Structures are given as C-alpha cells and as structure tokens.
Amino acid sequence: MTAAAFRSVMRRFPTGVTIVTTLLDGKPKGFTANAFCSVSVEPPMVLVCVNRQARTHPLISTAAKFCVNILQYEQRELAERFATKGPADPFDTVDYSVAHTGAPVLAGVLAYLDCELAEEHSAGTHTVFIGSVLACGSAEGAPLGYFDAAYRDFGCRIQ
Ligand SMILES: Cc1cc2nc3c(=O)[nH]c(=O)nc-3n(C[C@H](O)[C@H](O)[C@H](O)COP(=O)(O)O)c2cc1C
C-alpha cells in the first residue's frame, strides 16, 4: 500500500467543491474543501476533514462553528482563490452575508449548511470536524465538480 496508489484511487471519486468558512474575533476565514459529507439527517449533522496544517484549522476549533458553502459551476475562480495559501485575503473581494452562527455565507452559492461544532476527531494528518446543522439554504443551479484532480462540469446544468 502506497500513498500514490491511495491518491490514484481517491482521484476516481467525483465530488462537489465547497468553501468551508468560519468567523473568529469578527474576522472571516475560509478554505476550499471537498472532504465533506452528510452524517445524519435527524439530527442533521455533516462532517469536514481538515488538514491540521490549514490555517483555518485552529480557527474552526476555537470558534466552534463552520459553514459549508457548496459552489456553483460558475464559482470555480472562488475555489481556486480559497485554495491558495497566499498573503491576499479572499474575503477582501468576495460578497457574503452572515449565517445564524455568524460564519460567512458566500454570495451566489448553490447551497450552504451553517454548523455548530459538535465533535472533533483526529485521524492521520487531518481532523474530522462534525457539525450540527443549525441553518441551511439552497438555490437552483449547477454544481462545480472535481474529479481526477481537475474541476469539472458534471453535466447537470439546467438548460
Ligand atoms: C478541490 C480542492 C479540495 C480540497 N479539499 C480539502 C479538504 O477537504 N480538506 C483540507 O484540509 N484541504 C483541502 N484542500 C486544500 C486547501 O484548500 C488548501 O490547503 C488551502 O490553502 C488551505 O487554506 P488555509 O491554510 O488558508 O486554511 C483542497 C483543495 C482543493 C483545490
């Protein structure tokens, strides 16, 4: 078993693309993530897996809240910006509103899930953050997809 073999398998699993946001001391922060899934419906819970090297990691842990923003196909550029560890703050140039917990909901997303942190589990290089969903919303549109290390159009755009 090698890391390369593992990566090549995981590259064959298509996903959507999200930006996971949080708010600490009045400052928004977020990063691009696709290790996201539903955990439970009643009560509603979701999980995100976050690398402990991510700058957002300690902020989610401390703020104890996060919002999963599911991106529309047209928001690829946002995904790229929030996946870049540069000095620029993507929140300087993005419109957002504030969810129930105070975490940012990015303008124009396909859907969002606003969560209170319920559980934290360390696994390998990552932490699994499990959130209780306190508020959510969705819109019509087509998702941004990710497959084989590339952004994709999954062909479910509304004609
Ligand atoms: C499509 C895509 C999906 C990603 N998914 C995750 C993920 O699920 N968890 C994670 O920790 N990093 C993920 N990353 C990497 C982070 O977005 C990247 O490391 C980011 O720079 C972290 O930002 P931060 O250090 O400012 O928090 C993903 C990157 C891309 C392009």
- Residue closest via CA to ligand 1's atom 16 equals 83
Rounded Cα distance between 69 and 32, Å, is 9
Cα dihedral sign, 51-52-53-54 = positive
CA of 80 to the centre of ligand 1 (A): 10
For a ligand 1 pocket test, name from 13, 50, 51 the mutation site with the most ligand atoms within 8 angstroms of its C-beta.
51
List ligand 1's pocket residues with C-beta within 6 A: 17, 31-35, 49-51, 54-56, 83-85, 146
Report the candidate in 103, 126, 98, 124 with the shortest Cα–Cα distance to residue 36: 126
Per-position b or e across 33-58, b if 16+ CB within 10 A of its CB:
bbebeebeeeeebbbbbbeeebebbe
Looking only at the bridges linking them, the beta strands covering 126-138 and 111-123 are antiparallel
Decide if pLDDT at 52 tops 90: yes
pLDDT number for residue 86: 87
Ligand 1 atom closest to Cα of residue 83: 17
What CA–CA distance (Å, rounded) separates 46 from 123?
A: 17
Which two structure tokens, joined as six digits, stand for 114? 């606003």
Pocket test for ligand 1, best of 13, 29, 32, 146 (most atoms within 8 A of CB): 32
**Per-residue pLDDT tens over the stretch 90-139:** 999 999 999 999 999 999 999 999 999 999 999 999 999 999 999 999 99
Asked if 69 and 20 count as a contact pair (C-beta separation under 8 A), the reply is yes
pTM: 0.97
The C-alpha atoms of residue 104 and residue 29 are separated, in whole angstroms, by 8
Closest to 46 measured CA to CA, from 110, 107, 134: 134
pLDDT of residue 158: 59
